[in-house]
Amino acid sequence: MADIPPKIPGFSSKASIHAEDQPGRPPMILVVEDNAGNFMLIARMLESINVLCEWKTSGFEVVPFAVSMPYIDLVLMDIRLPYEDGYAALRKIRQSEDLRKLPVVAVTAVAGLDQMRAAKLAGFNGFIGKPLDPDRFPDQIRRILAGEAVWE
């Protein structure tokens, strides 16, 4: 199992300041997913590569929760969410002084080229289509945390 770097290059947010006081800490990902089964699958795969995660079920919860976290390295954002979709949540993240440089990767079942283009135009830092492949997902996360843009 390869080690994952603790910080994404270029990441600068209020949350990362707190992370500087925690050398050797595992990466932390906020998973925004309205389906509990999907979240459990993601959480298990992240745990297998020593990545911590928190869970929110709607886009409107993301900014207040992310700002309150001790540290955060990445957001995995479903697009189709109740109350506020992934695009609206991304706009709020990009408007937040504390979070605007936080990497946000779209994770969605609507995984065609049009959706991928729309995600890129909206400002997502990457795209992973569902269903998630348990053989590929851990490597995709390692690559993203190392600073690589993953569009798959």
- Which residue segment(s) compose the domain that 49 sits in? 26-145
In a domain, 150, yes or no: no
Q: Quick one: how far is CA 151 from the chain centroid?
A: 13
Examine residue 13 and state whether it is found in any structural domain, yes or no: no
Q: Is residue 152 part of a domain?
A: no
CATH of residue 135's domain is 3.40.50.2300
Residue 19 included in any domain: no
In a domain, 17, yes or no: no
43 occurs within a structural domain? yes
Number of domains, the chain: 1
Which pTM does this prediction carry?
Answer: 0.85
> Digits of tens for pLDDT over the chain (152 positions)?
344 434 434 433 333 434 455 668 899 999 999 999 999 999 999 999 999 999 999 999 999 999 999 999 999 999 999 999 999 999 999 999 999 999 999 999 988 899 999 999 999 999 999 999 999 999 999 999 999 999 99
